[in-house]
Homo-oligomer: A and B are copies of this chain.
Amino acid sequence: MGNGIDISERQFLQSHTPYKSLVGKYNRVLVVGGDEDKCRYVAQSYGFKDVVMPVDILRQVGSKIWPFNRYNQEELEKWGRTDLDINKPFDAVLVFCDPRDMGTDTQIVLDLLLSQNGQLGTRRANHEFSSKPAIPVHFSNNDLLWANNYSLPRFGQGAFRTMVQALYKESTKYELDCHIIGKPFHYTYQYADNLLKNWTKNGKDDLTVYMVGDNPASDIMGANNYGWKSMLVRTGVYRDEDRPNIVATPDYFFDNVLDAVNYAIDHNKSYII
């Protein structure tokens, strides 16, 4: 969210999505994204038992699976699993965060989506392809753009989703069915809403919730749809010149997060939890 947020914080925020609910459903998962192999430990902390990352596959299968990969030997040895039985099929692809080595991640994700029942190194016959991939793919965040300290917003996980879907279509002629959680989808707001209600202890249903965000297409659209008050800040993806084409109009505009939070506090003094 906006200028100045560092990548590790973004990764944390992105990763703490309701993937937990999938733990009982999938045994072996391909976990994609994030620095080093940090998302492996996030996935394991959710309860996933057999977590494989692209770096594990590269270490096991070798560079031939993606000759243009950008891992060196030291990184493969530091982050890559040694106990991987590559012949065991995968049950799902879970994208936790933005890919780092995007070429490697793209090739391996598509390999699994086009495979015979999640078995790496196999490929379905052309007549078996449909919109339903070999194994389900989940994305934890759909933002096309996010803002850092560069002068223009940068591509986010939504761009990776776009690329994966385009390659699936080019390979199979079908639109890829995929699961997307994160903003602006209802499920994510419901999850946060439940957390907030638990934190208030009394479990009251009449909370006024303010959503402060920099991205109209995710933060603001989701808040408006869910019935929260939406506050758009000017320190991130949104710029005032985008206003004529804004995809979701916020209840309030603010120059920065502090102004937004101060406004909410000032106007709700008797209700602060």
Contact = CB atoms under 8 A, between A and B. Distances in A.
Question: Which DSSP category, helix, strand, loop or mixed, fits chain A's interface?
Answer: helix
Contact of A167 (B66, B122, B159): B159
A49 interface: no
Contacts of A99: 68, 103
A123 B148 CA distance: 16
Interface stretch (A24-32, A104-112, A227-235, A258-266): A104-112
A100 B244 CA distance: 38
Contact of A166 (B65, B162, B171): B162
Contacts of A272: none
A113 B149 CA distance: 21
Interface residues of A, number: 45
Interface of A: 7, 61, 64-68, 70, 98-103, 106-107, 110-111, 121-123, 125-127, 144, 148-152, 154-155, 158-159, 162-163, 165-167, 170-171, 241-242, 244-245
